[in-house]
Structure 1
Amino acid sequence: MHLLYLKHCRKAVIKPLLHIIKLFSLRRGKFYSFIKKVTGIIPGDISIYKQAFIHKSAMIKGKDRRFVNNERLEYLGDAMLGAIVANVLYNRFPNKNEGFLTKTRSRIVNRSLLNDIALKMGLGDWVNAQSKIDISQTSILGDALEALIGAVYVDKGYEVCEKFVLNQIVLEYVDLKQVAKKDSNYKSLLIEWGQKHKQSVHFITEEKHISEGAAPTFIARAAVEGEVIGQGEGFSKKEAQQNAARNTLKELRLREAK
């Protein structure tokens, strides 16, 4: 009886454990397949790709007990993306000046477009962030896309990274002609509006007080002639000001239409 009881206990413990291991292996396999599909390459060091999807708000510690996140890869990916897009535009628009190239590049690498591309690529299904955060309302997806670019560069080098950005991102999701025509720098547009109407425009930006461990956010208010007309939030001062400017422009257009 005693032996039968022990066997029963072993089965009771081992079966759920094997199920957990199976699920973990299945998810790991799916992640590998996802990276292969979304990048168009065969990953070498899969751990670097996993890190690309860890937002700092997740507060995950590595084997050395230090917090692990994708900020360093994001920094690297941002630089790679900027350089590759600059080269694309330089060759695509040989008769355009530096100002045009700079503005067009900024429209492609801005957080709004990167967030949209990351969403379409399905990156949101793999991002590891604090559960309280609604990543669709933040720059987390765009940051993860830049971190993924950084991961490809670390794993495969510049040439493969360039092909990934060109084939899987720019050619797949960016209409260069449309982007070249569109101006989505709302802060610049608002300042230009102020100059045109001879009215002063300034921004008041401050860090939002949030719970410990959560990612810092900023609130920006756009004032025209001293009157605060619109405000916006973001994970950086720049993003918050862009959102504030966009909301202010909407309000100003409504006022002008009356």
Structure 2
Amino acid sequence: MYSYLIYTGISHVNQLTKLHPALIMKIRGELDVIAQRFGGRRVEDELYHFPPSLGETARKTAEAAEAMYLYLRENDRELFGITVLVSGSSGDGSAASSGLESLLFKVPDDNGLWVDNDFLDDFSAYLDGEAVEGLFCVSSLKEAGPRLEERLPSLLIRSDRLKVVRGALEQLERDENDRRVLLLRGRPGSGKRATLYRALRDLYPDDGGVPLVIPFAEDAEDPMEPFVRALGSFLTTVSEYLDEDE
């Protein structure tokens, strides 16, 4: 699976660094923040690497590239021109700058957002634009709906499980029931927590609280140890608000 690269070139950056070091430091800091927000990291001064992530790396890279491009354009008055170029890599991106040099010679002019034609198929669902002299010039970002990780909680919630959890929560609320602990068992990633949160929102839509969720370590020497540790930490925090009976 390919990872992707974003080159964020600033024309005459060496001169600008000498004349306005604070400006260049601020710009690079903001570009770092944007990259991190979309799962990337800086591997060289002007190069960012985006590793595979939940099968939506191309989308995150496209969104990051547009955000970086728009941010650089906000600083047009202080800069002499910018180039944002999206390409790909089969490695970690640390040795990819030599391959980018030949691509940069093809860029027709500054102040554009470009995609390497070799990787255009990966980005066609996310970017609009047109082919220009062997590269793809991006005009806008397409509307692609929620990302996979944003849809994942709803994908994990099954109606039959939700009904059971909701029923168990309702039973805990009955006066004759003196139990106040709900144990949900299941494999990691099976949607236990997402199902619990949905059931709580359905039953108590006006309650802004968050449930105390304590994981068990089934493969540990003492599976109860995480429970005891988390419960102890929780009680230390809330003990000042409880009376002796509680």
| TM-score normalised by the chain length of structure 1 | 0.24
Q: Which has the larger radius of gyration?
A: 2
> Which structure carries more helix by proportion?
1
> Which structure carries more strand by proportion?
2
| TM-score normalised by the chain length of structure 2 | 0.25
